[in-house]
Each structure stands twice: as C-alpha cells, then as structure tokens.
C-alpha cells in the first residue's frame, strides 16, 4: 500500500506524468490509474499521446475504457476508438453516450438475457459462449416478452442436473433503475438491497446493463468527500497530492471571506475594550462563549441541511423546526450555563461573573439554534447550497452576538 501511495504521489507531482505512468507494468497501470484523484487522471490522460493511451485501454473492460476516454478530447477519443475491435468499440461508444453520474455511466455490459421458457442446457450454452468471448461469467437475466422477470443465480447451473427446469422456480428478484437515474439514487437502491445486483433499464423497460455494489465505491467515496469539502470550504477538485500553488489557489478566497467575518467579531470585542481591561477574566471566558455557540449552531445546521436534502423541510414549513431548535438551545444553554457558572464562581470566586457567563451561555445557544436553522432555510430558498455557505454566516452571528451579550452584560453588572 505504501508503494502504491508513493507511485500516486510521483505521478501527481511529475511535470511529465505520462512518462512516469509508462514505466509501470500493465496490471500496475490499471490499479494505479483508477485510484488517482480525478484532476490527476485528467492531467495524465492529457499528457499521454494516442499510442500510449491506446496501449493502456486495450486490456481494460469496456466500462473502464469509457471512464478513461471520457477524460480525453473528442479527437483523441475517435482516434483511439478506431483502433479497438468492433465489438469493444461498439460497447465503449454506447457507454460514452451517457452521463458518468447516471446509472448508465455506472453500468457494465457483462450480462446475458434468456427467455423464461428456455431450459438449463440452452442457458448453459449461452453462458459458455459469453465466457469464451470475454473470459468473464455474466449475470443471467431472465425475460418474458423482453420484460425482466428476475436474475438466475449462476449456481443453479452447477447444482441442478435436470435440463427441463422451470426457470421461474429459481429466479431471484432484481432491483431495477432507469438509465438516467442519478448515481446517488442508485446508492440508495443498493442500501435497500445490499446483496443484489441492479438491472439498468431503457425507457421501454428493456435491459441495458447491470450495476454491482463494487461499482458504487467511487460514488460513495466522492459523496463523502464532497460533504467534507463543503463543510470546510475546500474545493472539491483539490487533492492531497496537489502542490502548494494549487492549494493556495483553491483556498485563498474562502480564507479572505473568513477574515472579513473575523474582523466583525473583533469589532464587537473592541467595542468593550475598556470593560475587558477592567475585568481581565472576561478574556479567559470569551473563547468558551464563542466556541459553544459555534458548535451548537453547527449541530442545528447539520440537522437542517439533512432535512432539506431529504425534502422534509423548507422555509415555508420550517417554523416548527426553528422553534424546536430554539427550545433545545435554551435547554442546552441552561445545562452548560449552570456548569460554567459554577466553575467561575468556585475557581474565580466571582458569583456575578458566573451569573453573567450562565445567562450569556443560554442566550448564545438560543441564537445558535435560531440562526443554525433559519440560515440554511433562507439559503435554500434563494437557490444557494446551504451545506457550502451556511457555516460561515452562522459562526459569524454566534460570535458577534455572543460577544455583545457576554461583554454587554459584564459591562452592566460587574
């Protein structure tokens, strides 16, 4: 594994990635390529000449060839496809016609269809012909009048001696999706049917391909990565293998925006400069107030964004959710406020400071619950993705208002 990671880093960092890639064995090339980040794959394919690209895809499965050529220019695609044998070229051209983020973009073509009235001997012959041509055992779909009836498990051929067997007795139900189903929806189908393969159907309900659970690993990994990128403000196309210049280019705008909001919080603190100078203990507890508000706001935001994604909530129906989060914020603020008030009263021997902290904690977590819910709903209403942009606004509100409440109460009471 360490060697594989080192190879990926070498290719990503090289100014001539195709030359580095060419030094690998054919089997190693296949293993390394499909584990590279998308941006590195793109630069590698662009750096390959047509002869090298043709040598690389020659031994790949048609769906893998489609993935590789999908990163090439139209002219390069045409040139490489012309050198493939007719059967493989037709399959690759067929797959290239679909979006890579759809069911058709995920599907494979390693399946055979047999009519439900056929006997096992005929099924076995069909499978043997497929294996002789592709060196792969196919998925066996059983149809009646071109309509999918189910999948015939391969072990039936090996375990049943009788030739005239009713195929219906051995069929397993097969989940289906249409060719234009988004890949994220295909993931949900597999979650409900984890042990099945999924048939991809055309508009007329005829079979176009088959998807296996392993084909979804890329989708699941990308989905998890996108979520992580969204919450941190990192560009999705940025890779851990990118150089420093690329990382700077992807991140500096987000950091400048954060800097602007940080100055708002600093301005709120500066407004109470004399109060902090007179009661220096306030500076010790300021991060506690801000941190608790930010964390509570992020919790509310996460629940709200998930509700939006599942179409459980919108701005017009979100009133109850906002009230619930405010009540939850007040209760949690009371719990944590009592704790921090006790700490300040005992360790700093200042009951009034404890009171200020306790009240501030309650109010700031109420603020966090309100803005953590309402901001994602507002962003969703105006067509913005709340997962990518809500955090910065919520944190700004909890910091600025939290400091105003805490320091304002301290100025009045202490």
Q: How far apart are CA 179 and CA 202, in angstroms?
A: 6
Report, as an integer, the average pLDDT of 149-159: 79
pLDDT digits (tens, 9 = 90+) for 25-69: 877 887 788 777 777 888 888 888 888 888 888 777 677 788 888
pLDDT score for 223: 57
Is pLDDT larger for residue 130 or for residue 139?
Answer: 139
To the nearest 10 degrees (0 to 180), the angle between helices 244-270 and 386-413 is: 30
pLDDT score for 335: 92
137, 123 contact by CB (below 8 A) = no
Can you spell out the DSSP letters for 143-187? EETTEEEEEE-THHHHH---SS--GGGG-B---EEETT-BHHHHH
pLDDT digits (tens, 9 = 90+) for 182-214: 887 888 887 787 767 888 888 878 888 888 877
Residues of the chain above pLDDT 90, percent = 6
Phi/psi for 354 (5° steps) reads -60, -40
pLDDT digits (tens, 9 = 90+) for 80-94: 888 877 767 777 777
Residues of the chain above pLDDT 70, percent = 84
Report, as an integer, the average pLDDT of 316-334: 89
Check pLDDT > 70 for residue 158.
Answer: no
pLDDT score for 291: 84
From the list 319, 312, 364, the residue with the least C-alpha distance to 337 is 364
Q: How far apart are CA 293 and CA 395, in angstroms?
A: 8
270, 257 contact by CB (below 8 A) = no
pLDDT band at 286; cut points 50, 70, 90? confident
Is pLDDT larger for residue 325 or for residue 106?
Answer: 325
Q: How far is CA 186 from the centre of its chain?
A: 13
CA distances to 3, 70, 81, 346 from 33, rounded to whole Å, are 14, 14, 19, 61
- How many residues would you count in the chain? 414
156, 192 contact by CB (below 8 A) = no
273, 266 contact by CB (below 8 A) = no
Non-local (6+) Cβ contacts of 294 within 8 A are 368, 394, 395, 398, 399
From the list 150, 145, 151, 138, the residue with the least C-alpha distance to 204 is 145
Check pLDDT > 60 for residue 228.
Answer: no
pLDDT digits (tens, 9 = 90+) for 231-248: 545 455 555 555 566 666
Give all strands of the β-sheet with 198-201 in edge-to-edge order. 176-178, 198-201, 207-211
pLDDT band at 414; cut points 50, 70, 90? low
Q: How far apart are CA 116 and CA 362, in angstroms?
A: 68
Non-local (6+) Cβ contacts of 177 within 8 A are 103, 185, 186, 189, 198, 199, 200, 201, 211
pLDDT digits (tens, 9 = 90+) for 288-316: 888 888 888 888 888 888 788 766 788 88
pLDDT score for 369: 92
Phi/psi for 249 (5° steps) reads -60, -35
Report, as an integer, the average pLDDT of 381-406: 79
Non-local (6+) Cβ contacts of 91 within 8 A are 62, 109
pLDDT score for 5: 66
pLDDT digits (tens, 9 = 90+) for 7-29: 777 777 777 888 888 888 877 88
Check pLDDT > 90 for residue 370.
Answer: yes
Q: How far apart are CA 197 and CA 202, in angstroms?
A: 17
68, 56 contact by CB (below 8 A) = yes
């Amino acid at each position: 594994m360490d060697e594989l990671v080192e190879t990926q880093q070498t290719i990503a960092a090289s100014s001539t990635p195709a030359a580095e890639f060419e030094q690998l064995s054919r089997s190693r090339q296949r293993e390394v390529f499909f584990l590279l980040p998308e941006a590195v794959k793109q630069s590698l394919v662009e750096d390959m000449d047509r002869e090298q690209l043709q040598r690389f895809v020659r031994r790949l499965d048609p769906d893998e060839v489609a993935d590789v050529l999908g990163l090439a220019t139209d002219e390069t695609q045409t040139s490489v496809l012309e050198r493939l044998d007719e059967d493989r070229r037709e399959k690759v051209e067929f797959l290239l016609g679909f979006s890579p983020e759809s069911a058709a973009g995920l599907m494979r073509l390693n399946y055979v269809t047999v009519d439900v009235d056929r006997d096992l001997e005929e099924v076995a012959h069909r499978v043997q012909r497929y294996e002789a041509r592709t060196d792969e055992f196919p998925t066996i779909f059983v149809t009646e009048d071109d309509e999918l009836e189910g999948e015939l498990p391969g072990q039936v051929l090996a375990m049943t001696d009788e030739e005239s067997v009713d195929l219906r007795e051995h069929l397993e139900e097969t989940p289906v999706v249409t060719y234009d189903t988004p890949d994220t929806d295909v993931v949900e189908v597999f979650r409900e049917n984890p042990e099945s393969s999924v048939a991809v159907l055309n508009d007329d309900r005829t079979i176009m391909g088959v998807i296996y659970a392993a084909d979804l690993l890329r989708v699941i990994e990308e989905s998890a990565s996108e979520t992580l990128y969204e919450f941190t403000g990192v560009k999705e196309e940025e890779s851990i293998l990118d150089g420093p210049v690329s990382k700077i280019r992807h991140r500096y705008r987000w950091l400048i925006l954060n800097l602007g909001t940080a100055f708002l919080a600093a301005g709120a603190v500066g407004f109470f400069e004399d109060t902090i100078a007179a009661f220096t203990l306030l500076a010790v507890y300021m991060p506690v107030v801000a941190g608790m508000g930010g964390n509570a706001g992020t919790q509310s935001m996460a629940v709200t964004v998930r509700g939006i994604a599942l179409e459980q909530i919108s701005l017009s129906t979100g009133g109850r959710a906002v009230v619930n989060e405010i009540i939850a914020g007040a209760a949690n603020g009371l719990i944590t406020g009592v704790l921090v008030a006790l700490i300040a009263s005992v360790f700093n021997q200042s009951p009034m400071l404890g009171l200020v902290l306790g009240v501030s904690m309650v109010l700031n977590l109420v603020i966090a619950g309100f803005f953590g819910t309402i901001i994602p709903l507002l962003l969703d209403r105006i067509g913005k993705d709340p997962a990518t942009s809500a955090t910065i606004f919520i944190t700004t509100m909890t910091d600025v208002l939290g400091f105003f409440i805490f320091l304002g109460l301290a100025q009045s009471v202490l």
